[in-house]
Amino acid sequence: MARVEVADLHKSFGSLEVIHGTSFDIDDGEFVILIGPSGCGKSTMLRMIAGLEGISAGEVSIDGTVVNDLAPRDRDIAMVFQDYALYPHMDVATNMGFSLKLNGHDKAEIKERVGKAAAILNLEPLLDRKPAALSGGQRQRVAMGRSIVRAPKVFLFDEPLSNLDAKLRVQMRSEIRELQQRLGTTTIYVTHDQTEAMTMADKVVVLNGGRIEQVGPPLELYRHPVNLFVATFIGSPQ
Ligand code: ADP
Ligand code: MG
């Protein structure tokens, strides 16, 4: 379990600043959704937290330790991407165990951890399939499996459901949330989908143009939006 703190984070690409000083905290085991329109800086925020993008100014801390200068693999964070980023030439089991192999874990331990994750995600019958032979929902589960096997302190999700059809999206919302609650892993989940924010989050961070508009539980944002942007963005149905 882990507490994450984002303090006065800035990001510039060349001379253009796209994140203008954002701060928020995520409690141990909390599921926080970062929501905002396309281009507002959600992925950039997530990538800075993961260590995939440099931080121009400000701090990211995990359990009180500043991680700005740590390489991604030393942050104990696992990220699930929108396109799943599975290795096409590896079967499901190898995809799921690959990061453990890179980190030097032995075969027996990799097999055990992959087996446990596969059981949790109902992937046991699919372990020897290649990604091309999987449905969208199954690929999504493999991408989550790859994160789970590492037992990270923090999960990051970047629009993990946007490539799925509407029916599967509804199902995966509850699957992801149930999984997160079962594991108790601190999670930051990025989306531009209001329904995901309202139904999944413990706490919502509303981002607009690289600035935070409001932070609070879904109902509070819905009932007491601080400005017209939040009211329109949260209140408007898809
Ligand atoms: P979101 O995920 O909310 O759609 P992004 O974080 O991807 O937004 O992008 C935020 C802003 O930063 C956008 O204006 C985008 O064009 C810009 N941006 C993102 N990545 C880069 C990059 N590597 N180089 C230059 N500009 C970038
Ligand atoms: Mg994005």
Percent of the chain with pLDDT over 70: 98
Closest by CA position to 94, among listed 110, 78, 83, 77: 110
Q: How confident is the model at residue 165 (pLDDT cuts 50, 70, 90)?
A: confident
Angle (CA) 100-25-57 rounded to 5° is 85
Q: Residues with beta carbon inside 6 Å of ligand 1?
A: 13, 18, 36, 38-44
Which atom of ligand 1 is closest in space to residue 38's alpha carbon? 4
Q: Is pLDDT of 3 > 90? A: yes
Prediction ipTM score: 0.98
Ligand 1 midpoint to CA 55 (Å): 14
pTM > 0.90: yes or no:
yes
pLDDT of residue 204: 98
Q: Whose CA is nearest to atom 24 of ligand 1?
A: 13
pLDDT tens-digit map of 77-102: 999 887 778 999 999 999 999 999 99
Q: Is pLDDT of 132 > 70? A: yes
Pairing outcome for strands 57-62 and 154-158 = unpaired
Closest by CA position to 87, among listed 75, 72, 97: 97
pLDDT of residue 27: 97
Pairing outcome for strands 203-208 and 211-216 = antiparallel
Ligand 2 midpoint to CA 43 (Å): 4
